[in-house]
């Protein structure tokens, strides 16, 4: 396993678990589930050819990773009902952005 792999998937799975358990003690299971559901944003990778390319940066390449989509995620922070999901989506984008430079 490469360091890039460990960092990327650690940020996708371990850090959301830590966020959920440290900041949302009462409903950490729900918050962690929302973070995991935000991973569905990666379904847009199925539109790419090839579907997976190790050195491709997802940010602004895939539709749900585009700057326009990210702007919608930021806008969603303004509403209580979408705030946690948008935090999860933005954290996902941050993780993928970091991956672009590893």
CB 89 within 8 A of CB 38: yes
- Number of domains the chain is built from: 1
Q: Is 56 left (phi over 0), alpha (psi -120 to 50) or beta?
A: beta
Element (H, E) at 5: helix 3-9
> How big is the CA angle at 73 (ends 71 and 74), to the nearest 5 degrees?
65
Helices in 12-66 by DSSP H: which ranges? 15-23, 28-37
Give me the DSSP letters along 62-87.
Answer: SGGGSHHHHHHHHHHTTSHHHHHHHH
pLDDT at 22: 97
Domain extent, residue 81, equals: 3-100
pLDDT, tens digit only, all 102 positions of the chain = 789 889 999 999 999 999 999 999 999 999 999 999 999 999 999 999 999 888 899 999 999 999 999 999 999 999 999 999 999 999 999 999 999 998
Q: What is the pTM of this model?
A: 0.93
């Amino acid at each position: 396993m490469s360091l890039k792999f460990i960092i990327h998937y650690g940020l996708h799975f371990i850090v959301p678990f830590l966020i959920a358990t440290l900041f949302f003690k009462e409903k950490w299971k729900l918050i962690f589930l929302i973070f995991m559901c935000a991973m569905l944003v990666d379904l847009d990778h199925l539109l790419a050819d090839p579907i997976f390319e190790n050195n491709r940066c997802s940010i602004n390449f895939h539709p749900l990773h585009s700057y326009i989509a990210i702007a919608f995620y930021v806008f969603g922070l303004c509403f209580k009902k979408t705030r946690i999901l948008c935090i999860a989506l933005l954290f996902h984008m941050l993780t993928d952005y970091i991956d672009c430079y590893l």
